[in-house]
């Protein structure tokens, strides 16, 4: 590592660290797709963590240019960010440090490890909605997020807990009709049995955004092999 790169890297780590505590956290929350060294998608992380991996030279940036994928070390990516800022400012999220403004890469490739440690898919509202495709799991109709509720299949009053197999999306109407009863007791039927997702459902949601279009090739190719969870 050259002195320049080394200085730049430690400067970036410090810059990123101070940005975390400052007003520039917007760009640091942008999502970055992580590939392993075999170009398989393994994880989505935030830009904050991606910059740490890049600054430590654990990862390199993968960028799409004229339909091809090009890799850059952080130092080169930082220099190119000047150009991107001028011509592609709206296509990127940005992180500012004291010295430079850097485009948040959309994809990084981890060079050293075959994969990062596995991450559990978090049991949260967003992931349950994503798993169920925003469909009420009783009437099967599609609803806007704000019109959906989380239903405990076995109600809490009957001892049902929070789990992937006991929580489903339900529209307000179906949830009210079911009340504090099991589907059997209410004479209702689930359109499918809920299960824990094999991969982070947030990935398929984000692909809806043109900003993450460059992920598509890796995700399509790795669709069945992406390991984001158990
Ligand atoms: Zn419904």
- Burial bucket for residue 114 (CB in 10 Å: 0-12, 13-18, 19+): exposed
85 Cα–ligand 1 center, Å: 47
pLDDT value at residue 160: 93
- C-alpha of residue 162 to centroid of ligand 1, in Å: 20
Distance between Cα 132 and ligand 1 center (Å) = 12
Are the C-beta atoms of 85 and 101 separated by less than 8 Å? yes
- 125 φ/ψ sector (left φ>0, alpha ψ -120 to 50, else beta): alpha
Q: How far is CA 209 from CA 28, 74, 177, in A?
A: 18, 25, 35
Ligand 1 centroid from CA 138, angstroms: 5
pTM listed for this prediction: 0.52
Residue 44: closest CA among 56, 54, 30, 58: 30
Say which CATH architecture domain 125-186 belongs to. Orthogonal Bundle (1.10)
CB 189 within 8 Å of CB 220: no
DSSP 8-state symbol, 91:
G
Single out the residue of 153, 203, 143, 221 nearest to residue 182, CA to CA.
153
CA of 229 to the centre of ligand 1 (A): 29
Give the separation between CA 52 and CA 57, rounded to whole angstroms: 8
For residue 5, report the distance from its CA to the centre of ligand 1, in Å: 57
Phi-psi region of 140 (alpha: psi -120 to 50; beta: other; left: phi over 0): left
Cα–ligand 1 centroid distance for 117 (angstroms):
38
Q: Calculate how far, in angstroms, residue 201's C-alpha sits from the geometric centre of ligand 1.
A: 22
How far does the centroid of ligand 1 lie from the alpha carbon of residue 173, in Å?
Answer: 6
Contact (Cβ atoms closer than 8 angstroms) between residue 168 and residue 132: yes
Between the CA of 75 and the centroid of ligand 1 the distance, in Å, is: 52
Distance 147 CA to ligand 1 centre (A): 10
Measured in angstroms, how far is the CA atom of residue 94 from the centroid of ligand 1? Answer: 41
pLDDT at 85: 84
- The pLDDT assigned to 21 comes to 40
Residue 69 is given by DSSP the state E
Structure confidence at residue 10 (pLDDT): 56
Q: Where are the domains of the chain?
A: 3-117, 125-186
Write down the pLDDT at residue 196: 87
Taking the centre of ligand 1 as the mean of its atom positions, its distance from the CA of residue 157, in whole angstroms, is 21
Sequential pLDDT tens for the chain (230 residues) = 444 444 455 555 555 545 444 444 468 878 898 888 877 777 888 898 999 999 888 899 998 777 778 899 999 999 988 888 888 888 888 888 778 889 999 999 998 765 455 556 778 887 888 889 889 999 999 998 888 999 999 999 999 999 999 999 999 999 999 999 999 999 999 999 999 877 665 555 455 566 777 777 676 544 433 333 33
pLDDT number for residue 175: 96
Note the pLDDT of residue 167. Answer: 94
Q: Note the pLDDT of residue 2.
A: 42
Say if strands 101-103 and 31-35 run parallel, antiparallel, or are unpaired. unpaired
CA distance 13 to 50: 11
């Amino acid at each position: 590592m050259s002195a320049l790169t080394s200085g730049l890297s430690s400067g970036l780590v410090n810059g990123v660290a101070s940005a975390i505590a400052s007003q520039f956290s917007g760009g640091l929350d942008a999502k970055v797709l992580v590939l392993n060294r075999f170009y398989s998608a393994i994880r989505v992380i935030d830009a904050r963590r991606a910059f740490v991996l890049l600054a430590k030279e654990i990862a390199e940036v993968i960028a799409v240019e004229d339909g091809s994928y090009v890799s850059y070390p952080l130092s080169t990516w930082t220099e190119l960010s000047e150009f991107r800022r001028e011509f592609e400012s709206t296509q990127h999220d940005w992180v500012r440090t004291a010295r430079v403004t850097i485009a948040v890469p959309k994809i990084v490739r981890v060079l050293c490890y075959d994969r990062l440690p596995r991450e559990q898919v978090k049991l949260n509202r967003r992931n349950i909605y994503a798993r169920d495709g925003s469909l009420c799991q009783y009437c099967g109709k599609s609803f806007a997020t704000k019109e959906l509720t989380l239903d405990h299949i076995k109600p809490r009053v009957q001892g049902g807990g929070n789990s992937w197999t006991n929580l489903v999306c339900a529209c307000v109407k179906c949830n009210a009709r079911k009340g504090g009863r099991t589907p059997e007791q209410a004479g209702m039927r689930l359109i499918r049995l809920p299960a824990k997702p094999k991969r982070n459902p947030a990935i398929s949601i984000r692909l809806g955004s043109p900003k993450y279009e460059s992920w598509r090739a890796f995700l399509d190719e790795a669709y069945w092999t992406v390991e984001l969870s158990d």
